[in-house]
Structures are given as C-alpha cells and as structure tokens.
C-alpha cells in the first residue's frame, strides 16, 4: 500500500498537478482553500481523487463564514482571499467543506493512523512547532495511534517519540520552508518519505495578480510563494 499525504493546498492548482500520481490512496490533511486562485478546481480534484480528507481552519472559515484564527501576519491575506473564495465556490463546494471531519483514524497493515489538521489537542488552530515537547506527551484524541499526521504549520518534519511517529507533510501549495517547493509525504510498507518538488510558481503568481483583491495582498501572497518565507 502506497499512500500519498498532502496538506495545506491553499487553492494552488499548479502545485497539485505536479504531485506524482503513483499512489494507491491520497490523504489530505486540510486547508484546500484560501490564499490561492483556484479553490473550485482544488475542491473538485480532492473530492474526486482523495480517499480521506480532513477539514482545516481555512476550510472551516470558508464553509461556515468564520474567522480563520490566523497569525496577524497572514490575517489580512486570509480575510481578502476568504471573500474571494466564498464568492468563487458553489454552494455544493461549501457544503462539502462544512461536512469534512476534523479528525480521522485508519488502520492499515497493523499501523494505526490518527489524522488531524493542527494537533490532537486542538484540531483546527494550534500552531505547534516541530521541536515542541508536546508531541511527546500522550493526548486523548490520538490515544492508541502509532502515527500522527498533522499539517497547519506548513513545516515539513518527521518526529519519533517512543513507539509513535509524528509526521507533517509540509504545505503542498504555500511553502514556509525557505524555498518555493511543493511538499508532501509518502507512506509505503511501514516507511515514510518526505518529498518536495518544483512547480511553475510564476503561473500561480500570474493568476494571483488577476484576483480581485488589494494589490498589497497580491504582492504579499506572491512573495510567500516565491521565497517560502513569511
């Protein structure tokens, strides 16, 4: 069984299309939408191709018209693109986002996976860095799981704590790792790979300049995509 795990797509269709297609199942850890120019196409692809999908804080914000809980640095970008995303998506798309679960469990070949967007303690909003000792502490929601899969921070990592592994695949659509690569993880036969690939960033950037959002928001979004820095 080969499972491709992605998170934080953020409506970046070019990044999604460069994902290698060789997998048996596709798992998505949330944040399909917001920031990027192609939310409807992303929702359609995920709905059609993914075996397991978790709701992220941006999916929640768009689906329910709620605040995203973003850091101050990203709040203006999130609010501007949320309005665009809500106007772009169909009612069926927004209904799909609302109905996504905030966590899930799967057992494959004796491995128990717990999936969430942020952390087991705070499924949608907590920013927990890779080196946090909280990953080592038992948490009720993920009790019994040998693998915890989480996204949200856009920081790719694999952390071993006893007999448990925590994996963040990184962000497919909006890197914060100091470069513009699209990141994802693969689990196969009990082993993880953390991968990254190039995609046509400038194509996405040109689409962002056509979005009906303020110029300064466009510039900030494009700068994040090009540099992988906040």
Q: How does pLDDT run across 93-119, given as a tens digit for each residue?
A: 999 999 999 999 999 989 999 999 999
Q: Nearest Cα to 104, choosing from 93, 113, 95?
A: 113
DSSP secondary-structure letter at 182?
A: E
Residue 2 CA to its chain's centroid (Å) = 19
Per the DSSP assignment, residues forming a β-bridge with 158 are 167
Q: What domains can you pick out in the chain, each with its CATH number?
A: 2-227 (3.60.21.10)
Residue 230, pLDDT score: 78
CB–CB of 226/201 below 8 Å? yes
Other beta carbons less than 10 A from residue 131's beta carbon: 8
Tell me which residues of the chain have a pLDDT lower than 70: none
Residue 72, pLDDT score: 81
Residue 128, pLDDT score: 95
This prediction has a pTM of: 0.96
Residue 5 CA to its chain's centroid (Å) = 9
Residue 84, pLDDT score: 95
Other beta carbons less than 10 A from residue 2's beta carbon: 12
Residue 180, pLDDT score: 97
String of DSSP letters for 11-28 = T-HHHHHTS----SEEEE
- The 3 state secondary structure assigned to 134-168 is HHHCCCHHHCCCCEEECCCCCCCEEEEECCEEEEE
Determine phi and psi for 19, rounding to 5 degrees.
Answer: -65, 125
Distance (Å) of CA 162 to CA 136, 137, 143, 146, 149: 8, 10, 14, 10, 16
């Amino acid at each position: 069984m080969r499972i491709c795990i992605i998170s934080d797509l953020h409506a970046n269709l070019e990044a999604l299309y460069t994902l290698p297609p060789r997998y048996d199942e596709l798992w998505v850890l949330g944040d399909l939408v917001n920031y990027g120019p192609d939310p409807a196409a992303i929702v359609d692809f995920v709905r059609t191709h993914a075996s397991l999908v978790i709701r992220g804080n941006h999916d929640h914000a768009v689906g329910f018209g709620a605040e995203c809980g973003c850091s101050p640095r990203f709040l203006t970008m999130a609010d501007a693109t949320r309005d665009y995303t809500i106007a772009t998506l169909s009612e069926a798309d927004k209904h799909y986002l609302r109905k996504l679960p905030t966590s899930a469990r799967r057992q494959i070949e004796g491995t128990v996976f717990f999936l969430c967007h942020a952390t087991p303690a705070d499924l949608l909003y907590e920013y927990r860095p890779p080196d946090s000792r909280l990953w080592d502490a038992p948490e009720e929601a993920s009790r019994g799981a040998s693998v915890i899969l989480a996204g949200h921070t856009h920081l790719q990592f694999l952390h071993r704590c006893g007999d448990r592994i925590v994996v963040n695949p990184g962000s497919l659509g909006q890197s914060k790792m100091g470069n513009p690569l699209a990141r994802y993880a693969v689990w196969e036969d009990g082993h993880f790979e953390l991968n990254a690939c190039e995609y046509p960033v400038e194509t996405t950037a040109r689409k962002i300049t056509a979005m009906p959002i303020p110029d300064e928001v466009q510039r900030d979004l494009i700068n994040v995509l090009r540099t992988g820095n906040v």
